[in-house]
Structure 1
Amino acid sequence: MRYILCLGALLWVGLCEATTAKALQLTLTGEQYVGVQSDSATRTELYADLIYKVSERHTLRAVQGVSKLYDVAVIGEPEVQIGDLYLYHYWSPGWEWEGIELSARTSLNLPVSEATRRHGVLTRPSVRVEISRRFVDQRLLVSYRPFFRYSINQFTSTPDGAPLPLWTLGHGLYLEGKLQDKLKLAASYTAGMHHYEQVAAGKQSAGGNYEIDLSVLYQLADTVLLRVGMNQADDFFKEGRFESNL
């Protein structure tokens, strides 16, 4: 079980007008995670998020993160680590029916981080569909997000013999409520079932996990957003039985 508290701050730097086509926007994010259980690590994460709006329907995005670990799990592993580079493409066809909107996101990660290179994960292409609708005078957003992710692995297992996920099929639910002009509440639930690479020593061919995130967001200034949240994640399969902690 992993249970952490998160303090986040976002700073937008508009390189040009973000509401028009051909717009470029840079977002800098700093987050402090406070572990409150033995299997959750305290760490600091910094992100650079570059967004380029190609047109009204297409948006490109690149995210690069850096982490500062305070409890290194692997001997010899550096405390400051560069995360994987994530590339996104957002597509909004403009379809709407009874207030229901449809959009999609494709993504690809490049193996920049030490953990990804050590495990031999070359890349993880994925696709996610979003079905969204607003309620209560546009103040409540409800979004259902099924997704599929595939892993292209150089090896079948990690260095310690654990099988690597081959593909994941899952879904998520995102809720966002506007309490005041500057204050919002957000909640998300994501669950996925994994199919693993087959290894000689591994008996498990399938598995799954879930993640719950609750956040309070406050717009401190036009370019500054503060976030305080709680995150919990756990596995469905434990010791040969199916378990969900909901």
Structure 2
Amino acid sequence: MAEKQVALVTGGAKGIGLAIAKRLANENFQVVINAHHEPSAEQTKKWQDDGFSFDILLGDVANDEDAKSLVDQIIEKYGTIDVLVNNAGITKDKLLTRMSNADFKAVINTNLVGTFNMTKYALKIMQKKRQGAIVNLASVSGLHGNIGQANYSASKAGVVGLTKAAAREGALRGVRVNAIAPGMVNTAMVEKMSPKRQEAVKKTIPLKRFAKPEEIADTAAFLIENQYITGQVITVDGGLTI
């Protein structure tokens, strides 16, 4: 049985997910990272050198059996799950008229169906003990749409609706469900953009910069800690969508 509270972060091996995992570890949670692929030895060594020790569970959240197995493994080892952060997500950007059905479905399956799968199994455990917190990663693209991201925007808009429905159901037994809608964040996805494109985008943001992953992690920690917030979508975008 776990002496610490147990938190599972999907897609937690890099970017926003890793920042959240580190933040929760610093808050004295027992953190379990889910990843689709085994992190490299170099990655895990760097985490250890930085003072972080995570359990790592491999699995595809879009696969129902994998999702159930992830939660089952945590219950078997720690006896409970207190926090779920649904961060796993992918992009396959292309103009809608050029987007294949396969690319549309792949993004929906990981971002939306994956969030549903993980929420379903974690919520069952949390409801039994009448306590728990779930934080879903949505996006400003799911609130306002984005050119070339019909699949991603649809998936994240779905996450918003799922969050609100799950919050109503979870509240019946003391479980809180919220979402974060980040804007542009300094992650590998953004780094793929050319420097010229990055500067052009920054000019559209009132605060004139991209978010640090740690700033999204701060918001996740706040939503996990505050016991009277549920069903909310917190936009963290530097004013992009004002």
Bigger relative CO (Cα 8 Å, ≥ 6 apart)? 2
Larger Rg: 1
TM-score w.r.t. the length of structure 2 is 0.34
Bigger helix share: 2
TM-score w.r.t. the length of structure 1 is 0.34
